[in-house]
């Protein structure tokens, strides 16, 4: 399939900006423009195929239910717990050890949960978990607790490639599905290669949701909003589709 015009448009979008595409891809988890181009090609092919079968009713339901793009107008208030990899080797075994240690601590502390913590506050049992497993300092300009989705991803150093390979994002799960008092994780991202290095913020993370705010009024489903809703639907479902494909292919590849 020919996609040269679309690839050129992707390059032109970031041309003469602070981060041209060959630099921006590092923040998405890619160290090679060639590898990113292949990912872009697969995603573009999926868009063309899926868009040809989409109906306005499907996308409208997604839009009214709060699509990813429109959730960006909200923020989640969280407390993070973090079991760092530290000097351990970056391996599945080391990461599982971090995850297991944090999971055991959460289970033990949760036995003292009284269930009457007011919305927006942190219960004593989770404070105990955080004291033992404190998160690293927040990046400059980012509130350590009230975060948009992209900021929560950045804090835990989740990138596009790692999410694509793992088929899961702890940040997305907490951001879109979280209700006050819920805990997400612990989760350790095993497949990560980030601009700041695979070891940056590596380890196991858990998220306690204190509160959530979102945009209350949606704009009419027409014009640019309708176009963005279509793109939003495709962007979200591409990762779900890719994860299903990888789950199907992986056992066959290992068997060869």
pLDDT one-digit tens code per residue, 108-124: 999 988 888 898 999 99
How far apart are the C-alpha atoms of 85 and 99, rounded to whole Å? Answer: 10
Contact 204, 92 (CB under 8 A): no
**Is 199 buried (19+), middle (13-18) or exposed (0-12) by CB count in 10 A?**
middle
235 phi and psi angles, rounded to 5 deg: -60, -45
Mean pLDDT across 95-106: 96
Per-residue pLDDT at 254 = 42
Q: Please state, for a pLDDT cut of 70, what percent of the chain lies above it.
A: 86
Could you tell me the pTM of the whole model?
A: 0.76
Residue 168: beta bridge partners? none
Per-residue pLDDT at 35 = 81
In the chain, the largest separation of any two C-alpha atoms, in whole Å, equals: 60
Query: Is the pLDDT reported for residue 30 higher than 80?
Result: no
Task: Give the CA angle between residues 194, 195, 200 to the nearest 5°.
Answer: 60
pLDDT higher at 85 or 105: 105
Contact 135, 82 (CB under 8 A): yes
Q: Which domains does the chain have, with CATH numbers?
A: 4-68+223-255 (no CATH), 74-213 (3.10.50.40)
Backbone dihedral region of 141: left (phi > 0), alpha (psi from -120 to 50 degrees) or beta? Answer: left
Handedness of CA 216, 222, 227, 231 (dihedral sign): positive
Contact 224, 204 (CB under 8 A): no
Per-residue pLDDT at 253 = 43
Per-residue pLDDT at 216 = 60
Residue closest to 203 by CA, chosen among 82, 93, 81: 82
CA dihedral of 150, 154, 157, 159, whole degrees rounded to 10: 40
For residue 97, how many C-alpha atoms fall within 13 Å in the half-sphere facing its CB? 11
Considering the chain, what is the average pLDDT of its residues? 83
Query: Is the pLDDT reported for residue 256 higher than 50?
Result: no
84 — pLDDT class (breaks 50, 70, 90)? very high
Per-residue pLDDT at 181 = 93
255 — pLDDT class (breaks 50, 70, 90)? very low
Contact 172, 154 (CB under 8 A): no
């Amino acid at each position: 399939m020919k996609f040269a015009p679309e690839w050129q448009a992707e390059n032109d979008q970031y041309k003469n900006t602070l981060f041209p595409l060959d630099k921006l891809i590092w923040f998405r988890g890619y160290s090679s423009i060639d590898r990113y181009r292949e990912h872009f090609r697969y995603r573009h092919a999926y868009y063309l195929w899926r868009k040809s079968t989409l109906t306005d009713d499907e996308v409208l339901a997604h839009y009214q239910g709060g699509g990813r793009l429109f959730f960006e107008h909200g923020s989640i208030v969280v407390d993070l717990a973090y079991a760092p990899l530290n000097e351990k080797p970056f391996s599945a075994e080391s990461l599982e050890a971090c995850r297991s240690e944090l999971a055991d601590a959460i289970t033990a502390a949760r036995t003292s949960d009284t269930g009457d913590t007011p919305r927006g506050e942190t219960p004593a049992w989770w404070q105990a978990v955080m004291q033992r497993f404190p998160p690293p300092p927040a990046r400059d300009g980012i509130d350590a607790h009230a975060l948009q989705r992209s900021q929560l991803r950045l804090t835990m150093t989740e990138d596009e490639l790692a999410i694509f390979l793992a088929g899961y994002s702890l940040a997305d799960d907490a951001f879109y599905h979280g209700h006050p008092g819920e805990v997400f994780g612990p989760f350790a991202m095993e497949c990560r290669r980030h601009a700041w290095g695979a070891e940056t913020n590596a380890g196991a993370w858990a998220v306690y949701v204190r509160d959530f705010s979102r945009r209350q009024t949606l704009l009419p489903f027409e014009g640019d909003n309708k176009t963005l809703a279509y793109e939003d639907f495709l962007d979200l479902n591409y990762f779900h589709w890719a994860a299903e494909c990888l789950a199907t292919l992986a056992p066959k590849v290992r068997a060869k």
